[in-house]
């Protein structure tokens, strides 16, 4: 019998959460079969088995475990194992205090699973008492409620499938003993009403935790500085209008033009396409632009690889596709890695300018504001022009003021004469 451990599904993954098992205890598993869905720090991934045999799960759905931790057994030895071996192993892990807590869904996930069990089971349990030595079968939610209310599960008959004890059984027992001197329910900090009103604690997903950690590390360790520049976007507005008129596909957005301009500018300023590491600067040969996208309760940065070598229309199609996969939660870790420079745009929300946080180990990030008509002076006359503010945030260990100013000036030059973006 072979041990199956939590796999490392991305280069930054430290632990993962079991979202759902796609095979169940006792199922025959073959190489290449989709086995389990795992939430990593970057995306939800389907892990395929690289072993043949019979599955015996150890980790439950909702468990968060470090990379390398045991999650299941696969092998011929599992065929003769009782169906409850994995549950017993988890119960022993709980008693020893070794089971990792679920950080993804907590009680909400347990309630969903419980509801499914009760719906599918339809009260199909036998309701008969267990015989001497028979394994106790109870859902995770039922066990938790029993612990909180001091209910002995061994005294209950389960109404779920196969005599499984479910939430309703525990609630019924707790209600029946309510007139007695039941132990008080512990008061949690979340339930206390204070001057701030009722407080609810929301657990962060694995991805949100990773973003929080990396942004805190960035602000704490990178000595950054910021440059701003206003860009006359009148020519880009005209170009986009012409492309919309002649294009069968959706025309490139202003952000697509910014991505292309950054990629071309980075050719001339390779230090900005590098990473500071331990007293040296690593210069990257490929120019891969990360594009920040608002996902489901998280900021995700998919990558446009070799953006300098791609046509503007190709960049537009790729960014639309990446953004759609981010919002559908189907983006893969390879599409989220390898970035050498990042563009973050809040212009679509009407934000004129903002200062983004560098995505380490990159040397810089460009913040893009909205395109607005503003009054500017041209040839001693006050005229209305489409204007956009760019904010370049740089790691001072990799770029100096003059380097950053030249890079930003080149980006502005390309946007003010955007014909070069179409070549």
Give me the active site residues, please: 396
Measured between alpha carbons, how far is 15 from 17 in angstroms, rounded to an integer? Answer: 7
Pairing of strands 289-291, 341-345: parallel
Which residues are bridge partners to 300 per DSSP? 293
CA-to-CA distance for 411 and 349, rounded, in angstroms?
22
Contacts of 339 (CB under 8 A, 6+ apart): 288, 289, 290, 301, 303, 359, 362
How far is the C-alpha of 249 from the C-alpha of 317, rounded, in Å?
9
Tally the C-alpha atoms within 13 A of residue 201's C-alpha that lie toward its C-beta: 10
Return d(Cα 123, Cα 120) in angstroms, integer. Answer: 9
The answer to whether the bond into 239 is cis (omega within 30° of 0) is: no
């Amino acid at each position: 019998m072979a041990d199956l451990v939590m796999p490392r599904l991305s280069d930054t993954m430290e632990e993962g959460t079991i979202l759902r098992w796609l095979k169940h205890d006792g199922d025959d598993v073959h190489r290449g079969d989709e086995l389990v869905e795992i939430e990593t720090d970057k995306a939800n991934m389907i892990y395929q088995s690289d072993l043949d045999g019979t599955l015996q799960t150890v980790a439950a759905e909702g468990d968060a475990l470090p990379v390398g931790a045991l999650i299941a057994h696969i092998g011929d030895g599992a065929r003769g194992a009782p169906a409850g071996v994995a549950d017993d192993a988890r119960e022993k892990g709980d008693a020893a205090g070794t089971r990792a807590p679920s950080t993804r869904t907590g009680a909400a996930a347990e309630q969903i699973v419980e509801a499914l069990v009760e719906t599918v089971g339809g009260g199909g349990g036998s309701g008969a008492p267990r015989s001497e030595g028979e394994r106790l079968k109870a859902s995770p939610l039922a066990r938790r409620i029993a612990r909180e209310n001091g209910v002995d599960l061994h005294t209950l008959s389960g109404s779920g499938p196969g005599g499984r004890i479910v939430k309703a059984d525990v609630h019924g027992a707790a209600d029946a003993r309510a007139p007695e001197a039941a132990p008080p329910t512990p008061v949690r900090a979340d339930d206390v009403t204070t001057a701030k009103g009722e407080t609810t604690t929301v657990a962060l997903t694995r991805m949100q935790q990773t973003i929080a950690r990396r942004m805190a590390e960035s602000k704490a360790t990178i000595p950054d500085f910021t440059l701003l520049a206003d860009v006359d976007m009148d020519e880009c507005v005209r170009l986009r209008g012409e492309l919309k008129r002649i294009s069968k596909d959706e025309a490139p957005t202003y952000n697509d033009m910014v991505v292309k301009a950054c990629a071309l500018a980075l050719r001339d300023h390779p230090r900005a396409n590098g990473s500071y590491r331990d007293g040296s600067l690593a210069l990257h040969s490929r120019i891969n632009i990360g594009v920040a996208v608002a996902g489901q309760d998280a900021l995700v940065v998919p990558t446009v690889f070799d953006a300098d070598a791609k046509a503007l229309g190709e960049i537009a199609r790729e960014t639309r596709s990446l953004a759609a996969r981010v919002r559908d939660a189907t983006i893969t870790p390879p599409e989220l890695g390898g970035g050498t420079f990042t563009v973050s745009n809040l212009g679509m929300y009407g934000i004129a300018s903002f200062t983004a946080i560098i995505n380490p180990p990159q040397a810089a990030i460009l913040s893009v504001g909205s395109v607005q008509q503003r009054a500017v002076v041209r040839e001693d006359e006050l005229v209305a022009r489409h204007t956009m503010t760019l904010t370049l945030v740089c790691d001072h260990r990799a770029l100096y003021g003059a380097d950053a100013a030249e890079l930003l000036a080149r980006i502005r030059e390309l946007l003010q004469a955007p014909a070069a973006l179409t070549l």
